Homo-oligomer: A and B are copies of this chain.
């Protein structure tokens, strides 16, 4: 407990221990091969149960998730992946197609009950609606990738796919638009490529 200057006490927030930091950030890697160990629907639901709580602008939550199992669904997905991504997408125990709901604002009266009129503001302003949906679904995709890692699974996010092809196949009414495909599973044989370099602090961080 920390005593504030005005006499109010506040409990310090929990933080991640070294295992948690390793699992999500410092030692986590993008898997390129997967072990032949199934990923259950319960595990996939667990990922969503974590990711759903992280924040979005005006609580809009525009991200949608399609979990594509092995078999018929996967056969419909793989041809739309770039050639270099097909083998790993075919072999992954589970695959998530992440999408933005272009009609996310229909939920505003439920999600932001003290500002229901924001629904109509989004309806009237296509640029605001598109930018809000695109930005916040990408933000949520970041949460999703770390949520996959949080449950002890490896994530293989891929931007290399024919988005229009996936959308026509999986979202024919046009309301959802694919933004990222994520392979999910336990790492297989030689799953990691050499780690690529990261930018230096002086390239990324400024102080003002």
Contact = CB atoms under 8 A, between A and B. Distances in A.
Query: Which of A22, A112, A207 has its CB near the most chain B CB atoms (within 10 A)?
Result: A207
Given A19-B14, A55-B157, A69-B208, A2 B186 contact: yes
Contact of A53 (B26, B35, B73): B26
A50 interface: yes
A54 interface: yes
A51 B106 CA distance: 33
Given A15-B23, A153-B13, A53 B8 contact: no
A186 B52 contact: no
Contacts of A150: 15-16, 20-21, 24-25
A15 B53 contact: no
Interface in A49-107: 50-55, 57-59, 61, 63-69, 73, 76-77, 97, 107
A190 to B, nearest CB: 9
A201 B23 contact: no
A133 to B, nearest CB: 11
Contact of A188 (B10, B54, B135, B197): B10
30 contacts: A2-B186, A8-B188, A12-B152, A12-B186, A13-B154, A14-B23, A15-B23, A15-B152, A17-B20, A21-B50, A24-B146, A25-B51, A25-B53, A25-B54, A25-B143, A25-B147, A28-B54, A48-B205, A52-B198, A54-B146, A58-B159, A63-B204, A64-B206, A65-B205, A67-B206, A67-B207, A134-B135, A135-B138, A135-B159, A142-B146
